[in-house]
Chain A
Amino acid sequence: MTGEPFYNFAYLDEQTKRMIRRAILKAIAIPGYQVPFASREMPMPYGWGTGGVQVTAAIIGRDDVLKVIDQGADDTTNAVSIRAFFQKVTNVAVTTDTGAATIIQTRHRIPEHPLIDGQIIVYQVPIPEPLRFLEPRETETRTMHALEEYGLMHVKLYEDIARHGEIATTYAYPVKVEGRYVMDPSPTPKFDNPKMHMSPALQLFGAGRERRIYAIPPYSDVVSLDFDDHPFTVQRFDKPCALCGGDDVYLDEVIMDDRGTRMFVCSDTAHCDGRRSEGHVGKQAAVEEARR
């Protein structure tokens, strides 16, 4: 007997993991359908990824390699805390390298590096119901999903065009999975929506506070909703990343001083670091190099 507090592997007890796994299996069997599950209290506040953490805890094994990102970055509070949590309660290997990870828990991004067969990406979801802001009644939204009444989703897109001249929804952009369920891809930028389509990786979504789990099995059809005359498009950036010079990536704006100087850098830090170690140099990085 030691005085050390004892945690089960991956924090949750085996019965809880079993319950969550059953929900995950059901979610995989019905792509895009929100499966209710008995969400547990986790040692972190709601909104910090309690759903994602429970999903990860239910699927993680001793041989897994875990990567945790928050807004694409491996080194922000949320990512660091969750990674440290799993190191403590599972002692699995962790990494920041997307290619080396077997499980990637994410908040708000899909990594730039293409996911491969066998990888699992776990999304933290705040509000799983895509119809919520137009229809507040849960009984009604469930009926609408059951009867495939998705006209309301287009009402939202119509409003966007009427007000802004284009579909102004830039994150949590609704998708239709396998031609059946309309799903909220969690607050990822719509830039990442095309990556979900026919992805070789298994995509799991956990919403802790709302107690829902949903999934996209590998190689599933994921279509972003749009109008015939206003087709779905992703954001484009007119400048490459200031640190690694990368194009076709999602950029974050960083304010440099109080005189309005700003730079745009990869939101996926692992991707940016990888490119820089390969010798790619962006504008800002070149300036700093010269200063040294």
Chain B
Amino acid sequence: MSDQPLMTARGVTKIYGERIGCEAVDLDIYPGEIVAIVGESGSGKTTLLNCLSARLAPSAGSIYYRMRDGRLQDLYAMGEAERRFLMRTDWGFVHQNPADGLRMGVSAGANVGERLMAVGERHYGRIRDTALDWLERVEISTDRIDDRPNAFSGGMRQRLQIARNLVTGPRLVFMDEPTGGLDVSVQARLLDLLRGLVGELGLAAIVVTHDLAVARLLSQRIMVMKDGRVIEHGLTDRVLDDPREPYTQLLVSSILQV
């Protein structure tokens, strides 16, 4: 693990007219670590994630990303071409709803291969081999390679979306509620898979979730958001076992014990 942050955000603020999306958020992400952003609906988690992932320009604040060559780049100062290239090579974005992140009209193989073709791979055989390899890694049967995602179950779609994002070997993956809408056993399998892949590939990830169990399982650090502000952050185990803020205490105590 490097001692230089991969991404540095300072004072990130997004204002929607009168309302605050998120306010004065500072965040450093180091290579290989997973940071969870938790909080209830409407607390600004997704707004923050969109700002960090260059999908939504913040109203104030700065976000710097360390490129592969080591220089620190202001995300919103780089050209659109470079930003888009970064988004489809060095980054991944896993949507809550797989249909937003997948091309539902083309086969699973083409979904996985799209990024490869976007960076100039022009050999059908190699694209297909890579796609097969990735389907295997996300536990999708390889004979489904020519099926369209709309013939897949929710869990399979989510795994396919993950494969599609990881195929170019990104260093940073953004995940917006990756387990939302999946049943518990499918969630468990997906979390297990994600944990394995993240460890194996040394990815850094920012995971937005309202599910504290997901944060506990995946992340090393956690940020708790309320009304657009970060009210508490620290090591995941510390925050969840010994919450300081009343709101965090409320969140932690709201978990159903079965």
Contact = CB atoms under 8 A, between A and B. Distances in A.
Interface of A: 134, 143, 147, 149, 151-152, 154-156, 158-159, 161-163, 226-230
A151 B107 contact: no
Nearest to A156: B106
A162 B127 CA distance: 11
A-B pairs, top 8 by smallest CB distance, nearest first, are A151-B118, A154-B117, A151-B117, A227-B124, A228-B123, A147-B81, A158-B110, A155-B110
27 contacts: A134-B103, A134-B105, A147-B80, A147-B84, A149-B118, A151-B115, A151-B117, A151-B118, A152-B117, A152-B118, A154-B117, A155-B106, A155-B114, A156-B106, A158-B110, A158-B113, A158-B117, A158-B124, A159-B110, A162-B107, A162-B145, A163-B107, A227-B123, A227-B124, A228-B122, A229-B123, A230-B124
B74 interface: no
A162 B146 contact: yes
B124 A151 contact: no
Contact of A151 (B80, B119, B123): B119
B125 interface: yes
B238 to A, nearest CB: 43
A266 B104 CA distance: 40
Given A154-B117, A155-B110, A163 B146 contact: yes
Contacts of B145: 162
A229 B107 contact: no
A230 B106 CA distance: 19
B206 to A, nearest CB: 25
B149 interface: no
A257 to B, nearest CB: 40
Contacts of B115: 151
B151 to A, nearest CB: 14
Given A147-B80, A162-B146, A154 B122 contact: yes
B121 to A, nearest CB: 8
Given A134-B103, A147-B80, A149-B84, A161 B114 contact: no
Given A149-B118, A162-B145, A155 B113 contact: yes
B127 to A, nearest CB: 7
Contacts of A161: 124
Contacts of A163: 107, 146
A162 B142 CA distance: 13
B114 A229 contact: no
B109 interface: yes
Contacts of B117: 151-152, 154-155, 158
A155 B148 CA distance: 13
